[in-house]
Structures are given as C-alpha cells and as structure tokens.
Amino acid sequence: MQYTETYSKVLKWRGGTARRLLRDSVLRLKSMSSNVDKKFKGIQFLYFHYIYDDEMKNAEKIIQWIAENFKVISYSEAIQRLLDDNIDDYYICFSSDDGLKSNMIASKIFKKYNISCCFFINPATIENRELAYQNKICTERLGIPLTDFLTWEDVGTLLAEGHEIGNHSYDHQILGDLNEDEFEEDLKKSTKILKEKIGEVKHFAFPRGQFNFFKAAYKKMTHAHGYTSCATAERGCHIALDTPISLNELSVRRDVVVFKEPLAFVKYFMQKSQQTSSTKNSYWIDNQ
Ligand SMILES: [Zn+2]
C-alpha cells in the first residue's frame, strides 16, 4: 500500500467521471463573470481538506489572490466577531478538516501570506499510524484513497507557526448516528487527548458537515464541554445580525475549497454566498 500523491489519482479512485465533467463545465460557464464584492460586509469561512502534489501551484494561486484582495483573520477572531456581532468589513477565515499530512504544505503557503488557519483534527488518526488503519479511515470515512496524516510533531509545528487546532471528533464517525451517551463519550475522549497534547482546544467541527449528520442537541453539548464554536460545512457566509447571538445559538457555515479547481470556481462560490447571505445563516437549521 502506498500513499496517494496526486488529486488526479483521487478522482480516478472515486470514479463518476462523466458526472464530474458535466458539473465542471456547468460551473465553468457560470463562473465566467463572477465578481466578489470587496465592499460587502460579512465573514466568509473557507475550508479545505488536502493539497495533493498536483494542487500545490493552484493552491498558492488561490491563497495569494485571497490574501492580496481581502482581510484574512484567524479562526478565533472570526468567531469572536460573530459573537460580538462585530462585522464591519469583509473578512475571510481559513480552516481545514481531517488532519492530513498535506496541512504542512498549506502551512508553508500560509506563512508566506501571514495567514493563520484552524486545523480540525481527529486524535485517532494522529495516534494510530498503521497503514491498514489509515487506509480504512481514508476509504470508508473520508472518501479518499490512502493518504498520510499529520503526526503530533507536525501538530506542534502548526501551533508554533501561529495556527489553531480544533477538534474534528475522535475518529471521524458520523456523530448524528451515535446516541447521546456515545456522542458524549466520543467528545470527552477526543477533548482529553487534545488537551493533553496541545493544552487548549476551543473549536469543534463535526465530520461530514451537513446539518443532517449531526444534531442541534449535540452542538449544545460541545459548548457544555467548553467549546467556543461548532462548525458545519454548509455553504454560506455570515452577516451582521439584528439581535445578539449566544454561544449556544451560533452555528458556523463554511464553503469548501478544492485547490485543484480553478480560482474562478472559488470566486463563484464566494459571490454566491454573498448574494444568498442571510441572518438565518448564523443559526442551526434542523432539516429533518
Ligand atoms: Zn472530515
């Protein structure tokens, strides 16, 4: 078994080529005239999972464009601004899920542009480096062929380079499928390990990210266990609210970035998030 080095191989492994090409050509057309409004007031969270070898150049192009055109703030600052309803400009905030090894490449690029990112990790995949285990997690839970993960040493380096580390659950199960006791046990276990290894952990992002893979009651439990924020992977950005929002109410939205895709796609989704922005975006939505 060998680690996957390129995103082309990931796509080949996933299959569904015809559907993807169709989606890409539609997006290519739609994104031709995209224009992100720099005067917009809001907070846009962008998150990614990996930077494979054939994505590095484009990843830098995208990150550079964002750094040169917008105010990029740290995860903790973005959360504080949401809680204080202090949204006086257009802010971008980066995070990453799954704790893959290529976060170290991301960190190198971020360093050039003075960007702080929040990396959401699963303690289990940092602790257990057996190939068979990594392969199982990658293929069954992350939807990618075998790919390497961070080590605790890497996590220390990320922190030393000014990034934040968040909790992405113990081992990337679908948390909404767990009963309350099982979920709390997962949360306690992952929190304990992260605290022992890195001291403090303030932010939580649940695996898969859509509302229906988690529960509003579980989101509240993360705060009862000390977390300052809980992130989804639902698209959309945040705008100023009419009434102040509490910690328990605040639900963070993030737009995914695939670095192999054209910068125009990133612009398209950012513009779409601006155009569809609503105060409702900051609240949990139960779609059951
Ligand atoms: Zn994940």
Q: What is the dihedral of CA 157, 162, 167, 172, to 10 degrees?
A: -50
| Residue 40 alpha carbon to ligand 1 centre in Å | 29
Maximum C-alpha span of the chain: 54
DSSP 67-125: HHHSEE--HHHHHHHHHTT---SEEEEEEEES-BTTHHHHHHHHHHTT--EEEEE-HHH
Q: How far is the CA of 32 from the centre of ligand 1 (A)?
A: 30
Distance 269 CA to ligand 1 centre (A): 20
> How many angstroms is it from 242 CA to the middle of ligand 1?
32
Instruction: Tell me which residue of 222, 136, 131 sits closest to 172, measured CA to CA.
Output: 136
The C-alpha R_g of the chain, in whole angstroms, comes to: 18
Q: Encode the chain (288 residues) as per-residue pLDDT tens digits.
A: 899 999 999 999 999 899 999 999 999 999 998 899 999 999 999 999 999 999 999 999 999 999 999 999 999 999 999 999 999 999 999 999 999 999 999 999 999 999 999 999 999 999 999 999 999 999 999 999 999 999 999 999 999 999 999 999 999 999 999 999 999 999 999 999 999 999 999 999 999 999 999 999 999 999 999 999 999 999 999 999 988 899 999 999 999 999 999 999 999 999 999 999 999 999 999 875
Please give the CATH number for the structural domain made up of 7-22+38-282: 3.20.20.370
Instruction: Give the pLDDT confidence score for residue 244 in this predicted structure.
Output: 87
CA 210–ligand 1 middle distance (angstroms): 11
User: What pLDDT score was predicted for residue 288?
Assistant: 52
Give the Å distance between the CA of 98 and the centre of ligand 1: 5
| Ligand 1 center–CA 247 separation, angstroms | 23
Q: What is the DSSP letter of 228?
A: S
- CA pair distance 140, 102, nearest whole angstrom: 20
CA of 19 to the centre of ligand 1 (A): 23
Residues 6+ away with beta carbon under 8 Å from 117: 75, 94, 95, 96, 106, 107, 110, 163, 164
Write down the domain spans for the chain.
Answer: 7-22+38-282
Q: If you measure from the C-alpha of residue 76 to the centroid of ligand 1, how many angstroms do you get, rounded to a whole number?
A: 20
